Structure 1
Amino acid sequence: MSKEENFLTIKENGSAELIIKKSKFIASMARTTTTDEANAFIQEISKKNRDATHNTFAYTIGLNDDQVKASDNGEPSGTAGIPELKALQLMKLKNVTVVVTRYFGGIKLGAGGLIRAYSNSVTNAVEKIGVVKRVLQQELIFSVPYNRFDEVDHYLKTNKFFVADTEYGVDIKIHIFLDMDDQEQTKKDLTNLLAGQISFTNGEKRYNEIPVEQNNYHEQ
């Protein structure tokens, strides 16, 4: 279940511009988790670029593309919104809205040219903005004696766990975040390391973000 809750999305809101045969294409992108957020972003960008020839858009909401929508906004049917949506889906991005604004430069691109232009605008913007994997993780809280801290610290660093907080009191209380599937093995490892002298408390669940290298989207 937990693996299905991990997903790719854009690192942050942003935009990028392409000039194709004198037409200017501006892809504006935002993270959106509801259709209301998506529609608000579309209206904001369309209003900002109200003098443009077209403000086309696409969005995908939900981890299973539960709600999707695409609009050509006056371009020939199927040449703008759908290519934008397909570009998002090919990169496996979730909870993203894109508005591609076109300022016509006087040279017609034809249907094939438009499809490539709108699709490439999205891909170009994603490459500029960056991608992160949002990973659902569980906070695990435990205490260790001062004389055992170095061993535990070495274990955590070796396994690249994210240490969210370290509190120094009678013992040292450590807060780590780990993937849902790693909980049991981690508890077992730490219990063995400390000869059973340890107890665990679960804290909050939250999404943590891991940067994804360009061109590695399909491997996630």
Structure 2
Amino acid sequence: MKEAFHTIFEGGVGEFEMKKSRFIATVRPVETEEAAIDVIETLKKKYWDASHNCSAYIIGTENPIMRCSDDGEPSKTAGRPMLDVLLAHELTNLVVVVTRYFGGTLLGTGGLVKAYQSATLEGLKNSIVIKKELGVQLQVVTDYTLIGKIQYLIGTEKITQLSSEFTDIVTLTLLIPPSRLSEISKKIAELTNGSAILNEIDEVYFSLINGEAYVF
């Protein structure tokens, strides 16, 4: 699994106009190629009266699937420029559809490339872009006398805390980068003289959004 990658948490819609041609970019997060195709087909039905519904998507983190379509526009003036924007932003697991309503004036090759890229950028600007990081869910079970030391370590090491439960004991769930798991586990053991119980639960992707940790 890749250590980290950028993707879309919440899609958005952006618009761009050039010489009365209207370009509407719709951005959606997707996990599979089938889902990307479904989004494209749904938007083609929604904007059935448009001149074109051009698209681009990237799926996966290792050897990603990349596809794009000019949907009737001159070759390499729409889909590929849109895909280039996604690649430049190092995004994956998303699909973008740019719908064009023709305004009556031909834009030329350069104009089309600029328009489709500008619309894609507007769509991304109105979306929530996140960084998904790989983390090991580490459960720490300890008593109340040691929680202060552990919380201090969490703060100084900038560790993401997913949850805490206070009963007759304290149970914390932390998200640790795999490369730091051994180091952090050792530090907790040293702080607690080996009394804290450490359990590795699962390896997950997580992201910090407005200061809150989301697990995927």
Please indicate, yes or no, whether the TM-score normalized by the shorter chain is above 0.5.
yes
- Residues of 2 paired with 1:104 and 1:36: CA distance? 29
- Residues of 2 paired with 1:20 and 1:95: CA distance? 29
Cα pair 1:65 1:94 within 8 Å, conserved? no
What is the RMSD of the two structures over their aligned residues, measured on CA atoms? 1.6
Match of 1:190 among 181, 188, 191: 188
Match of 2:174 among 176, 196, 204: 176
Aligned AA for 2:93? N
Cα pair 1:7 1:93 within 8 Å, conserved? yes
Deviates more, 1:95-104 or 1:175-184: 175-184
The answer as to 2:9 corresponding to 1:11 is: yes
Task: Count the aligned residue pairs.
Answer: 210
Determine what percentage of the aligned residue pairs are the same residue: 32
Aligned AA for 2:87? Q
- Residues of 1 paired with 2:115 and 2:63: CA distance? 23
- Residues of 2 paired with 1:163 and 1:103: CA distance? 48
- Residues of 2 paired with 1:31 and 1:65: CA distance? 18
Match of 1:128 among 113, 126, 129: 126
- Residues of 1 paired with 2:85 and 2:192: CA distance? 50
- TM-superposition CA deviations, 1:164-198 (whole Å, max 9, x none): 22222332111111212121111111111112222
Structure 2 length normalisation: TM-score?
Answer: 0.91
Structure 1 length normalisation: TM-score?
Answer: 0.90
Aligned AA for 1:13? G
Counterpart of 1:216 in structure 2 is none
Give the superposition deviation at 1:65.
Answer: 4.9
Give the superposition deviation at 1:30.
Answer: 0.9
Deviates more, 1:88-97 or 1:189-198: 189-198
Cα pair 1:133 1:211 within 8 Å, conserved? no
- Residues of 2 paired with 1:165 and 1:68: CA distance? 37
- Point out where structure 1 has 5 or more consecutive residues left out of the alignment: 213-220
Aligned AA for 2:85? A
Could you say what secondary structure the match of 2:196 adopts? Answer: coil
- Residues of 2 paired with 1:29 and 1:92: CA distance? 15
Counterpart of 1:21 in structure 2 is 19
Q: Structure 1 residues 166, 33: CA separation in 2 closer, same or farther (over 3 Å shift)?
A: same
Instruction: Map residues 140-179 of structure 1 onto 2, 5 A cutoff.
Output: 140-179=138-177
User: Relative to total residues, which structure has the larger helix share, 1 or 2?
Assistant: 1
Cα pair 2:13 2:24 within 8 Å, conserved? yes
Deviates more, 1:13-22 or 1:41-50: 13-22
Stretches (4+) displaced over 3 A: none
Match of 1:52 among 33, 40, 50: 50
- Point out where structure 2 has 5 or more consecutive residues left out of the alignment: 211-216
Match of 2:117 among 113, 116, 119: 119
